[in-house]
Amino acid sequence: MNMEIRNLDGRPVIVGGGIAGLMTALHLAPEPAVLLSRMPLGADASSTWAQGGLAASLGLDDEPLLHLADTLAAGDGLCDADVARRVVQAAPAAIEELARLGVRFDRTPAGALLLGLEAAHGRRRIVHAGGDGSGREIMRALVAAVRSTPSITVIEGVEARRLAVDDNTVVGVLARCSVGPVFFVTGRVVLATGGIGGLFLDTTNPLGNCGQGLGLAARAGAVLADLEFIQFHPTALDGADRPMPLISEAVRGEGATIVDETGQRFLQGVQGAELAPRDVVARAIWKHLSNGHCVFLDTREKPGPTFARQFPTIASACRGAGIDPGHDLIPIRPAQHYHMGGVAVDGAGRTSVSGLWACGEVASTGLHGANRLASNSLTEAIVCALWVAESAAGSPGGRQKPAIASDQDSPDDPMPVRALLSGALGLARDGEGLKAAIRALLPLAATSDPAAVGLMIAIAAFLRQESRGAHYRTDFPHRAAVARRFEFTLKAALATAQELAGSPALEEAI
C-alpha cells in the first residue's frame, strides 16, 4: 500500500539534489517546489566531486563565438549549434549568478576571476572555486541557498522509482523511503539525477549514479538520445580505489606531461599533444596501455612545487596512494567520466513526455554532441536550470489524477551490468562485443533498470557503425560522411534487441 502525498498543490517535483536540481529549485522560487534526494543534499552527488570548473568566455581575449567554435569542434559534427550558441552566450551571466548566490570563485589579488586552461579550449576560460574543489564549493553555496529558501521543500532519503504517466502525461512520482513506498501526486517532474558512472567498473563518479533518471524516463516512454557517447577521462589515478580519483585536466593545463615507463612523451606527435581533445588523449593512453606500457602523469616540473597548493584534492588522493606529485610519477589510466547522451530535451528542457523535464547530465540537450568540451557540463547545468524553471513555472502541469503505479521492486543491482558495459562499451567497441552484451542484457532489462539503461546504450553503440567523438568502433574506425543522431524509446530498443538476439541475419537490415 502506497502512502499518497496529495497536498502538494500542484507543486513541481524535482528529482535529484546535485547542481542541476538545486539550481532548478532556486530558479523556480518563490513558486513552491519539492526536491527529492536519495541522500542528504550534497552527499554522493557527482556535482560535489567536480574538479574542473565552469567554462565561460570571460577573458579579454575571448568571446562566446570562440567558446562556441571549441564546443562544436569537440562535439565532432553532432552538437545542436543553436543550443550550444545559447549556452555559451549565457555562460558569463551564469557565473555571476553563482557568485551572487555565494560561490567563492578563485580570484586574483585584484579581485578578477582566475581563468584556467583545459584540453581543446583555445583560450583560458575555466573558472574554478577552491582550486580543484569547484563542485564542493558550488554545492556548499547552493545547498545553503536552497535550505534558506522557504518555498523549497527538501525531502532527503527518498528514491524516485517510477513516473506515473497517463496518456503520455506525467501524473505523479512513485518513490521509496525508509517507511516504504510513497506516491507524490504531481503533473510536473524535473529529472536532475546525474549520470551513469555506477554502471562501469572504472569510473570517476559516485558508484550510486546508475542512470536512475534514464530508467525513470525510459519506462515512462520518453525518447532518449545520443546514448552511445560516453566520455572517458584520460587521467584517473590508477590505484586500488574505486571509484577512481580524478586528476583534473587543469593539471595538464598547468604544464604536466604524459609519459610512459621509458620517459617518452608518446602524445607529442598528436595535434594538441597532452591538451588534445579528451577522447583523443584517452584513446592514445588506452592504446599505449594495451601495447603493454605503463602510463604516468609527470607533474614534477610543472606544476611542480605549487601542485599541492593548486590542487589540494588531487594532492590528498595521491598522498593516500603513497605518491608525492612533486617527486613521483602518477600512474594513470582512462575511466568513465561523463555521459553526453540522455533524455532528449528541447530548448526549454522539455522531454517527449508532457509534464516531464530533464536537466544536467541526465539530459541530452545537444550541447555536447559526440564529445563534451571540458567544463562545459556544470555551465550547461546552471544555464539550462533557468530554462527548465522558466518552462516548468509557466506550465499548467499535467492532469493530477490519482495515479496507478506500482514499484515492481525491480532489482536495481548494477553489478551484473557493470561487467557487461565495462567490457563491451569501454573506450573501444566492436559489433560482436556489442551484440553479445545486448543478448546478455535483454533478459535482465524487463525487471532491472540498470540493465534496461545498459541495453539502450549498447543498442545505440551497435547502430552507430562509425567512429565519432567518444564513440570508437574498432570494426568501423572511420567517421561516416553524414552525421546523424540516434533517438529512441525503450520500447523501440527492446524490439531492436529482440530482433538482434533472435536473428543474426537482421544485422544487415538495421
Q: How far is the CB of 141 from ligand SIN (least distance, A)?
A: 19
Q: Which of 47, 377, 448, 489 forms a contact with ligand SIN (CB under 6 A)?
A: 377
Between CA 236 and CA 247 the distance in angstroms is 6
Which segment (147-155, 248-256, 395-403, 469-477) binds ligand SIN by CB under 6 A? 248-256
Q: How far is the CB of 387 from ligand SIN (least distance, A)?
A: 20
Q: Give, to the nearest 10 degrees, the angle between helix 81-100 and helix 376-393.
A: 90
Determine if 52 is a binding residue for ligand SIN (CB under 6 A).
yes
Q: How far is the CB of 472 from ligand SIN (least distance, A)?
A: 19
Determine if 244 is a binding residue for ligand SIN (CB under 6 A).
no
Determine if 285 is a binding residue for ligand SIN (CB under 6 A).
no
Q: How far is the CB of 189 from ligand SIN (least distance, A)?
A: 27
Helix (H/G/I), strand (E/B), else coil: 478: coil
Which segment (41-49, 297-305, 369-377, 487-495) binds ligand SIN by CB under 6 A? 369-377
* Residue 468 DSSP label: B
Determine if 425 is a binding residue for ligand SIN (CB under 6 A).
no
64, 88 Cβ separation under 8 angstroms? yes
44, 118 Cβ separation under 8 angstroms? no
Among this protein's residues, is 278 annotated catalytic? yes
Which segment (100-108, 244-252, 256-264, 397-405) binds ligand SIN by CB under 6 A? 244-252
Q: How far is the CB of 52 from ligand SIN (least distance, A)?
A: 2
Determine if 313 is a binding residue for ligand SIN (CB under 6 A).
no
CA 138, 231, 280, 314 dihedral sign is positive
- Residue 12: count of CB within 10 angstroms of its CB: 26
Between CA 71 and CA 88 the distance in angstroms is 9
Determine if 336 is a binding residue for ligand SIN (CB under 6 A).
no
In whole angstroms, how far apart are CA 488 and each of 352, 459, 467? 11, 10, 20
Between CA 506 and CA 500 the distance in angstroms is 6
Determine if 310 is a binding residue for ligand SIN (CB under 6 A).
no
Determine if 257 is a binding residue for ligand SIN (CB under 6 A).
no
Determine if 248 is a binding residue for ligand SIN (CB under 6 A).
yes
Q: How far is the CB of 136 from ligand SIN (least distance, A)?
A: 13
Q: How far is the CB of 200 from ligand SIN (least distance, A)?
A: 15
Between CA 84 and CA 482 the distance in angstroms is 20
Q: Which of 188, 278, 333, 350 is catalytic?
A: 278
Determine if 375 is a binding residue for ligand SIN (CB under 6 A).
yes
Q: Which residue is nearest to ligand SIN (CB)?
A: 52
Determine if 205 is a binding residue for ligand SIN (CB under 6 A).
no
Spell 212-241 as b/e; 16+ CB within 10 A means b: bbbbbbbbbbbbbbbbbbbbbbbbbbbbee
Short-list 432, 418, 420, CA closest to 473: 432
* 87 versus 353: smaller Cβ distance to ligand SIN: 87
Determine if 48 is a binding residue for ligand SIN (CB under 6 A).
no
Determine if 249 is a binding residue for ligand SIN (CB under 6 A).
yes
Angle at 337 between CA 240 and CA 282, to 5 degrees: 85
Backbone angles phi, psi at 444, to 5 degrees: -85, -25
Between CA 42 and CA 194 the distance in angstroms is 13
Determine if 71 is a binding residue for ligand SIN (CB under 6 A).
no
* 295 versus 424: smaller Cβ distance to ligand SIN: 295
Residues that bind ligand SIN (CB under 6 A): 51-52, 248-250, 337-338, 374-375, 377
Active site amino acids: 278
